[in-house]
Chains A and B, each alone.
Chain A
Amino acid sequence: MSNRNLGASMKPLGDSALIVQLGEGISPSIHELVNNLSVLLNNHPFEGFIESVPAYNNLTIYYNPVAVHHSQINKEVHHARLTPFQKVSAFMEELVQQTRKNKFHDKRVVTIPVLYGGEYGPDLEYVAQCHSLSVDEVIQIHSEGDYLVYMIGFAPGFPFMGGLSEQIATPRKETPRLVIPSGSVGIAGKQTGVYPLETPGGWQIIGRTPLDLFLPAISPPTLLQAGDKIRFAPICPKEYDHYKEMKL
């Protein structure tokens, strides 16, 4: 990790949130800092803390400014004239320092079974043609990759993942589909992802997982979380049906 990644800057997102910027661009090492900071903050929240949301290279902290105003969240600093943003910034500065000293647990590895091609992956052949590969080669490349979930956004449980091989990176469709079924596994440029809900979308759909990514009745409510490592495992239609039956 280079030194320039170690500086953190605080920028306000309005009067009730701030963004802790931990670096620029997309890299696993910056993201590790983001995730570690999030874990530390959630284990040691300040008074008025609402929630934190990790992104590629920053962490957004939501807080209740009135509660922060009435609290003494950092004893060393005289807070009388500080705004809630300044108080939370001071608290986060300190936490960023601690994040660098702490050891964190290894990442979770989540395997996602995927039935590639056929009616569940209508764009698999197109992706293969684009790169002069066979369908099996595309499946092999996609399922051999190690992927990192940088953040969850766009829809509940939707992972923004890095790690797709350039060999199968494919631009979005020119005309988005009106309906993409939930569980669809797609490629858009250098990203790959899984649709947790039925939505319109322009990704190239290469397969479908029988797993649910959004699980509103349990906690946490999503299969994947920022920081998870992902592997895709090819399955056959019989196995796909078996997974589906297990859920019933």
Chain B
Amino acid sequence: MTVKVLHPGLLTTIQDLGRYGSQKYGVIVSGAMDSFSLRVANLLVGNDEGEGALEITLFGTTLYFEKDSLIAITGGDLLTTIDGENAPMWRPILMRKGSVLKFKSAIKGCRAYLAFAGGIAIPKVMDSKSTYLRAGIGGFKGRALQKEDTFECGELNELNHSLVQQLEKLNGHFTWAVNYSALINLKSSQTIRVLKGTEFNRFESKSQLTLFNGAYSITTQADRMGYRLEGPALSLAEPFELLSESVTYGTIQVPPNGQPIILMADRQTTGGYPKIGQIISADLPSLAQLQPTSIIQFKEVTHEEAFMELLKKEHIIDEIKMAIHFKRTY
């Protein structure tokens, strides 16, 4: 099936779960900002959870379907319509040939994920379909989608096919949907859980308290690379020079001006600013759904808690996976 871009929107890129294995060469990971929503979108259409899908930012993306297609929309609510009618989210939808899918603008969250049965037929670069914008590789020709771009979806597997057949019988849509509320938080003000960073103890004790007592807002300088925050300044007990070393998704680093920066999916592989905190993996997808001006309150947790929270979320995704396999059998 072929999909044509009528309007690319603010920033629409192809992402999967990221390009791992090449960070030692300076190649960034990229991948979906909200990986839980990407995985669920893929599962809902019968794909492997790590297939490439579209990450649609805030508003404006409009797509024309030249053939019947099985899709699913997850993540932030961007007031999506199919030929002007509200499109359901978090469930498989059969798009009819000639219909138009439009993402108007975000009313909840920041990024929507659109998965296509069979995935998106583009070559992998270094084992990933994720778009690496700065190096111009991966994704759709190494760049964000533009007007008039067209792409094909991949071959359907058995599960893709049986979901299509089920939907044909039901006039194109299921009555059920995934309840995402235990998986991601789409509120505009959130408590985000944090582990102490590698240089936490190098900060003055007042700053150590401030991180967890103060509130920080996300500035307009927030993109796939990082979120610059604004709030009570954080300072080191005494200045020291840190050699460049690895940083990762969710690292909270503090440059000399004292305003923290959270590193996101397109972060560089290494950095030299002191790291005061590290956001737990279970909360990264919710963080990715926050828009500029949102308020964050950091809460310290232990490693045991961080891991239990991740296990909980992985369990929910496992249940969704099993439910999809179950649906096709009757």
Contact = CB atoms under 8 A, between A and B. Distances in A.
B268 to A, nearest CB: 6
Nearest to B250: A14
Interface in A174-200: 196-197
A151 B24 CA distance: 8
B281 interface: yes
Interface in A51-109: 51-58, 60, 62, 65-66, 69, 83-85
A60 B135 CA distance: 23
Nearest to B271: A153
Interface in B98-140: 125-126, 134-135, 137
Interface residues of A, number: 48
Contacts of B250: 14
A240 B250 CA distance: 43
A182 to B, nearest CB: 11
B7 to A, nearest CB: 29
B244 A14 contact: no
* Chain A CB within 10 A, most for which of B21, B304, B307: B307
Given A85-B303, A153-B26, A55 B126 contact: no
Contacts of B195: 12, 14-15
A170 interface: no
Contacts of B251: 13-14
B182 to A, nearest CB: 17
Interface string A20-55: 000001100000000000100000000000111111
B243 A56 contact: yes
Contacts of A19: 198, 245-246
Interface in B135-154: 135, 137
Contacts of B278: 12-15
* Chain B CB within 10 A, most for which of A14, A53, A158, A225: A14
Contacts of B245: 19, 55-56, 58, 60
A16 B281 contact: yes
A221 B303 contact: no
Contacts of B306: 14-15
A156 B28 CA distance: 8
A216 B243 contact: no
Nearest to B247: A13
A11 interface: yes
B125 A216 contact: yes
A221 B20 contact: no
A232 interface: no
Contact of A65 (B25, B134, B307): B307
A226 B244 contact: no
A53 B268 CA distance: 12
B246 A15 contact: no
B23 A84 contact: no
B281 A154 contact: no
Contacts of B28: 156
A26 to B, nearest CB: 7
Contacts of B24: 38, 51-54, 152, 225-226
A83 B26 contact: no
A153 B270 contact: yes
13 contacts: A13-B251, A13-B275, A16-B281, A26-B243, A54-B24, A55-B244, A62-B23, A152-B25, A154-B26, A157-B25, A214-B135, A216-B27, A222-B26
Interface of A: 11-17, 19, 25-26, 38, 50-58, 60, 62, 65-66, 69, 83-85, 151-158, 160, 196-197, 214, 216-217, 219-222, 225-226
Question: What are the 8 A-B residue pairs with the smallest beta carbon separation, nearest first?
Answer: A153-B270, A60-B246, A14-B278, A55-B245, A15-B306, A152-B26, A222-B25, A156-B26
